[in-house]
Amino acid sequence: MAVDRDLPCSIVDVIEILGIPVIRNTGTQLYCRCPFCDDRSAHFNVKVADDVFRCHRCGRGGGVLHLYSLYHNVSLRTAGDELRSLFSNGARAERSLRANSPEVQIIASEEMQVASSAERDSTYTNLLSMLTLADTHREALRKRGLSDEEIDQLGYRTTPAVRTKRIVAELQERGCKLAGVPGFYCDRETGGWLFATPSSGIMCPDRNSKGEIEAIQVRLDNPQKGKFRNLTSSEKYYGTSAHCCPHFVGVDESLSSVYLTEGVMKSDVAFCLSKRLGMRIGFVGLTGVSNKSQLQRALQELREFGISRIVMAFDSDFKVKPNVAEARNYAINEVIAQGFEIVPLSWDQGVKGIDDLFLSFVLKKS
């Protein structure tokens, strides 16, 4: 963008002279109504320090020259000439937008909007369909007690290490939305979409009460802080942070009670093993044990399913870890306060999770 560098104006100056409505100004970013599409909200995002814009609705984006040339339908060269003459006397436009100007109408307060659960589900379902599960990962899942058939049904996949550009191209060909889907972000130079490859591990789809994949948890091969990491692109250019949901497995209207536990893989494994034991149990795994809003969402959805009893099946380490104990106590109090019947389960500390407990039963049986 060397051609932009000697321009006498910034992208904010050009937004002002074009009269593009600014909906929100964070000081470093502007959220505007897009002049190029039928945007009724604030999809047109401007990164002030980088002098770049992108509309998350129509996908148009670029630098100062692109904005002016698109708006007036002139070539980049003409855009440069006209901007130089407009700002020739050094009189740059008022920088009112740089400070939080009182004229700026504030109607939105969220950051980059995450795509809807249906859109994320479509993109993630397509993404997982292009990947495979490595033999080492299949073997690790067998060790947790799963059969090959169960492993295939869960749809777990190994994180891709190569050919992610081809995966992105294929997703776009299939019409999948990438803007606002955690894990995807933009290339700073070309504006093209990229996939933020996570550290290697097993990708586990985090499904909501309707079965939609809202997020993906990765069971890391080399755990650092914690064994699981959510698929995210929050640190990236036009990326999105992960939005996990309470993970539902085997829950339907025929049940009156469910087991509440933590994590996607734990609930999936426990569900498969409980079936093997001839039990009919539904599980909800919270993806983040101290995530209070997620617990609220889970309880509300369970009530809609007609569930009246909740079996608390948190890891046994609550007996030795104060933060886990605190989260468990909060959940117990909340479950009771909301009128559910509660059954707090606990078991020997040598057995960590509900999945390990059921595995020990399965092994005893065989």
Taking the CA atoms of the chain, what radius of gyration do you get in angstroms? 25
Strand partners, 286: 262
- 8 Å CB contact between 55 and 39: yes
Name which of 8 and 35 has its Cβ closer to Zn ion.
35
Name which of 39 and 51 has its Cβ closer to Zn ion.
39
| CA–CA distances in Å: residue 83 to residues 54, 317, 329 | 20, 64, 62
Q: Taking CB under 5 A as the rule, does residue 302 contact Zn ion?
A: no
d(C-alpha 17, C-alpha 320), whole Å = 62
Name which of 12 and 34 has its Cβ closer to Zn ion.
34
Q: How many residues bind Zn ion (CB under 5 A)?
A: 7
Q: Taking CB under 5 A as the rule, does residue 37 contact Zn ion?
A: yes
- 8 Å CB contact between 319 and 352: no
Name which of 17 and 58 has its Cβ closer to Zn ion.
58
d(C-alpha 205, C-alpha 215), whole Å = 6
Site stretch for Zn ion (CB under 5 A), options 11-19, 29-37, 62-70, 353-361: 29-37
Please pick, from the candidates 11, 34, 218, 273, the single residue that binds Zn ion as defined by CB under 5 A. Answer: 34
Name which of 71 and 330 has its Cβ closer to Zn ion.
71
Strand partners, 25: 30
Between CA 276 and CA 252, with CA 149 as vertex, the angle to 5 degrees is 60
We find the least distance from the C-beta atom of residue 20 to Zn ion, in angstroms, to be: 11
d(C-alpha 217, C-alpha 209), whole Å = 17
We find the least distance from the C-beta atom of residue 5 to Zn ion, in angstroms, to be: 26
Site stretch for Zn ion (CB under 5 A), options 37-45, 131-139, 197-205, 249-257: 37-45
Q: Taking CB under 5 A as the rule, does residue 181 contact Zn ion?
A: no
We find the least distance from the C-beta atom of residue 30 to Zn ion, in angstroms, to be: 14
d(C-alpha 86, C-alpha 71), whole Å = 15
Site stretch for Zn ion (CB under 5 A), options 34-42, 118-126, 135-143, 215-223: 34-42
We find the least distance from the C-beta atom of residue 10 to Zn ion, in angstroms, to be: 21
- 8 Å CB contact between 270 and 283: yes
Query: Of 42-101, which residues contact Zn ion (CB under 5 A)?
Result: 55, 57-58
* Matching residue, tokens 């893989």: 265
Single-letter amino acid, residue 34: C
Name which of 37 and 134 has its Cβ closer to Zn ion.
37
Contact residues for Zn ion, defined by CB under 5 A: 34, 36-37, 39, 55, 57-58
